[in-house]
């Protein structure tokens, strides 16, 4: 239902992974594909499937990842459904890193990632693929596509995956079972697409998150990367289903209406040693580390109805859209911790598990934690006049949030603007500037690896802004973008209130300010050479903290410099050599 625009005309930084790039990549999950995109950092815990996504340095745990433009994959502490779609089911991936998230109904701040699913082609497809990776990991993939009916108006694409075996990290293993299908219809005046599937992922071992709990201003030396820090029962499991339905109906040559609907349900559990093992200045694990059992589930439902069209007022061309949307999300969770002082050792020699670690904490049923209903109306207009293009949009959001732990209710009503200007002195060159705002309710404080005195409390809502200016140049099949961006985001901290009892209070404290420069390059270097990559400088500091504490200190886990470069050489249609380097 969005207004379609050329990449050079969009007043924001956009990267697109095409079907060809996805097919030729060695990536076996969405997270590995996103690692090719400059400005996007993909982290994880060694599981190669349970990922954390950062855009321009910002951790995104909300509706960052969309499927066919729909918010049906909530990204929480375990992977959202979108990350579990196999790349063989994906036609392309759009990464919008600038002021645009509000247009997608998303409250993500740094940007959004939109996964477009693959449809059947006119040429029948029957593919069976085998892969080998890690230490003993074998994968099997089936891709079947057929079109049928009058003028091939109906299409069916089915993708299935089975993967099992050891990962590159000693002691870690993964089992993945997915099946997805895409049914589409192309009529004279309408297009309809249904995408649905089931996912199931289990990862044993692979604990790779750490927290520095020392007082020194520098970290101890890095340990051997092959070191394993798990107890034998460490495991993570997530499973569920998702579906999206998109329909667009032409009323005449200029106007059409559209409707979108989607939903997902996921559940899972895990046993591990905290979310991250804490160590001191010498690399020794501290006595607050403990075993954790967590059970959780999430449900998302999304619906949208809208109208779009084009008309002219004098010499100005308008491309407009009006959309109403409603989203519903509910989250269940329970986290149960074992005792302290049973996890010792250090990052160099390995972890030592004392006998008191067992029995492991009981895995309890997940309890309702919160539910949220958001209703919105968005109007957008892309105005073309001469060499300039002005993009204007506004969203009226009505958010209703209920904390199911303590009954607390929060209602937010906001009007969020988005605007941008693009000027093209030539057909190959574009200069642009853009602004957007987002508003999201605060998170619910829940005990997990730490005990909070304000457990169950909903923190205050937060508002964020993003500004960006840049220049794009497209020539000889290569698109180059250079941009400056300035983003603010609420800063969350843990305040220690009782050292003896290891109690904390979760709180908002000032803002994180992300200011950076980004250079991206994508396209054909020559007939047989393709390049994708970029370089980003990021100044991420804390501002306006209470009592001035931590002001100007760097935001946790953010690299000042980061880059990615990928090259592909295809000597002929049957062979390809792909290489990628990531540096932070």
What is the reported pLDDT for 493? 67
The predicted-structure confidence for 411-428, as pLDDT tens digits, reads as follows: 888 888 889 999 999 999
What is the reported pLDDT for 104? 65
What is the reported pLDDT for 100? 62
What is the reported pLDDT for 74? 59
Query: Rounded distance, CA 538 to CA 561, Å?
Result: 6
Cβ atoms of residues 104 and 397 within 8 Å: no
Residue 150: Cβ within 10 Å count: 7
Query: Rounded distance, CA 34 to CA 55, Å?
Result: 10
What is the reported pLDDT for 510? 67
pLDDT band at 101 (very low <50, low <70, confident <90, very high): low
pLDDT band at 449 (very low <50, low <70, confident <90, very high): low
Residue length, the chain? Answer: 584
For residue 469 the two structure tokens come to: 């200016």
What is the DSSP-derived secondary structure letter of residue 110? S
The predicted-structure confidence for 265-280, as pLDDT tens digits, reads as follows: 999 999 988 778 899 9
Query: Rounded distance, CA 524 to CA 478, Å?
Result: 6
Q: What is the CA radius of gyration of the chain?
A: 24
CA 25 to chain centre: 19
Cβ atoms of residues 40 and 54 within 8 Å: yes
Is the pLDDT score of 2 beyond 60?
Answer: no
> Percentage of the chain surpassing pLDDT 90?
44
What is the reported pLDDT for 135? 87
More confident residue, 73 or 396: 396
The kind and range of the H/E element at 24 are helix 19-24
The predicted-structure confidence for 178-194, as pLDDT tens digits, reads as follows: 999 999 999 999 999 99
What is the DSSP-derived secondary structure letter of residue 187? -
For residue 155 the two structure tokens come to: 């299409």
Is the pLDDT score of 78 beyond 60?
Answer: no
For residue 139 the two structure tokens come to: 């994968």
More confident residue, 33 or 378: 378
29-64 burial string, b = 16+ CB within 10 Å, else e?
bbbbbbbbbbbbbbebbbbbbbbbbbbbbbbbebbb
For residue 538 the two structure tokens come to: 């990021």
pLDDT band at 46 (very low <50, low <70, confident <90, very high): very low
What is the reported pLDDT for 83? 73
Helix (H, G, I), strand (E, B) or coil at 150: helix
What is the reported pLDDT for 130? 92
The kind and range of the H/E element at 192 are strand 190-204
The predicted-structure confidence for 159-217, as pLDDT tens digits, reads as follows: 999 999 998 888 899 999 999 999 999 999 999 999 999 999 999 988 777 888 888 88
What is the DSSP-derived secondary structure letter of residue 456? T
What is the DSSP-derived secondary structure letter of residue 218? S
The predicted-structure confidence for 503-553, as pLDDT tens digits, reads as follows: 666 666 667 788 999 999 988 888 889 888 899 999 888 776 666 666 667
Choose the weakest-confidence range: 2-6, 11-15, 74-78, 532-536: 74-78
pLDDT band at 468 (very low <50, low <70, confident <90, very high): very high
Helix (H, G, I), strand (E, B) or coil at 9: helix
Q: Is the dihedral of CA 78, 80, 81, 83 positive or negative?
A: negative
> Percentage of the chain surpassing pLDDT 70?
85
Cβ atoms of residues 35 and 26 within 8 Å: no
Helix (H, G, I), strand (E, B) or coil at 548: helix
What is the reported pLDDT for 536? 93
Quote the pTM value: 0.85
Mean pLDDT throughout 312-331?
A: 93
Mean pLDDT throughout 498-502?
A: 65
More confident residue, 80 or 220: 220
Cβ atoms of residues 108 and 489 within 8 Å: no
Is the pLDDT score of 75 beyond 60?
Answer: no
For residue 83 the two structure tokens come to: 């990350």
Mean pLDDT throughout 114-137?
A: 91
Query: Rounded distance, CA 541 to CA 555, Å?
Result: 5
Choose the weakest-confidence range: 110-114, 116-120, 217-221, 372-376: 110-114
Choose the weakest-confidence range: 214-223, 386-395, 447-456: 447-456
Helix, strand, coil percent content, the chain, rounded in steps of 5: 5, 60, 35
Nearest to 222 by CA among 213, 212, 234, 236: 212
pLDDT band at 1 (very low <50, low <70, confident <90, very high): very low
Mean pLDDT throughout 52-73?
A: 72
What is the reported pLDDT for 6? 67
Is the pLDDT score of 303 beyond 90?
Answer: yes
């Amino acid at each position: 239902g969005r207004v379609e625009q050329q990449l050079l005309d969009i007043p924001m930084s956009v990267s697109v992974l095409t079907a060809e790039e996805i097919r030729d990549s060695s990536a076996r999950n969405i997270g590995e594909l996103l690692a090719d995109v400059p400005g996007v950092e993909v982290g994880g815990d060694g599981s190669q499937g349970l990922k954390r996504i950062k855009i321009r340095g910002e951790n995104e745990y909300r509706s960052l990842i969309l499927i066919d433009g729909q918010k049906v994959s909530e990204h929480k502490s375990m992977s959202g459904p979108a990350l579990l779609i196999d790349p063989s089911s994906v036609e392309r991936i759009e990464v919008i890193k600038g002021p645009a998230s509000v247009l997608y109904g998303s409250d993500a701040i740094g940007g959004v990632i939109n996964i477009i699913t693959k449809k059947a082609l006119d040429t029948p497809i029957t593919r069976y693929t085998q892969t080998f990776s890690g230490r003993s990991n074998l994968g099997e993939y089936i891709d079947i596509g057929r079109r049928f009916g009058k003028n091939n108006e109906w299409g069916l694409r089915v993708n299935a995956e089975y993967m099992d075996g050891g990962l590159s990290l000693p002691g870690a293993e993964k089992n993945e079972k997915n099946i997805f299908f895409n049914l589409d219809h192309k009529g004279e005046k309408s297009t309809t697409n249904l995408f649905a599937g089931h996912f199931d992922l289990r990862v044993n071992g692979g604990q790779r998150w750490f927290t520095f709990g020392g007082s020194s201003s520098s970290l101890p030396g890095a340990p051997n990367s092959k070191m394993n820090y798990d107890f034998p029962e460490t495991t993570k499991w997530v499973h569920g289903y998702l579906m999206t339905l998109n329909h667009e109906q032409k009323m005449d040559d200029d106007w059409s209406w559209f409707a979108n609907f989607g939903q997902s349900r996921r559940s899972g559990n895990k046993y591990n040693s905290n979310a991250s093992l804490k160590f001191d200045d010498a690399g020794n694990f501290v006595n607050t580390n403990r075993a954790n059992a967590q059970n959780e589930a999430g449900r998302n439902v999304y619906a949208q109805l809208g109208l779009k069209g084009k008309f002219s007022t004098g010499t100005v061309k308008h491309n407009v859209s009006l959309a109403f949307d409603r989203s519903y999300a509910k989250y269940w969770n329970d986290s149960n911790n074992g005792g302290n002082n049973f996890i010792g050792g250090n990052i160099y020699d390995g972890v030592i598990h004392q006998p008191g670690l067992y029995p492991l904490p009981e895995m309890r049923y997940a309890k309702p934690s919160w539910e949220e209903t958001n209703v919105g109306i968005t109007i957008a207009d892309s105005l073309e006049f001469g060499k300039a293009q002005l993009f204007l949009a506004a969203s009226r959001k009505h958010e209703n949030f209920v904390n199911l732990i303590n009954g607390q209710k929060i209602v937010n009503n906001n009007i969020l603007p988005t605007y941008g200007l693009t000027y093209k002195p030539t057909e190959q060159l574009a200069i642009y500037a853009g602004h957007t705002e987002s508003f999201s309710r605060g998170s619910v404080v829940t005990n997990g690896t730490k005990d909070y005195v304000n457990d169950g409390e909903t923190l205050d809502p937060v508002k964020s802004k993003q500004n960006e200016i840049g220049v794009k140049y497209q020539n000889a099949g290569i698109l180059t973008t250079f941009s400056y961006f300035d983003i603010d985001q609420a800063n969350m901290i843990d305040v220690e209130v009782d050292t003896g009892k290891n109690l904390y209070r979760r709180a908002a404290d000032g803002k994180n300010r992300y200011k950076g420069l980004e250079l991206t390059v994508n396209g054909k270097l020559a007939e047989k050479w393709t390049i994708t990559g970029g370089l980003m400088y990021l100044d991420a500091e804390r501002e306006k903290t209470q009592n001035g504490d931590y002001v100007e200190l760097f935001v946790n886990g953010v690299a000042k410099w980061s880059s990615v470069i990928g090259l592909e050489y295809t000597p002929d249609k049957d062979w390809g050599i792909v290489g990628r380097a990531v540096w932070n």
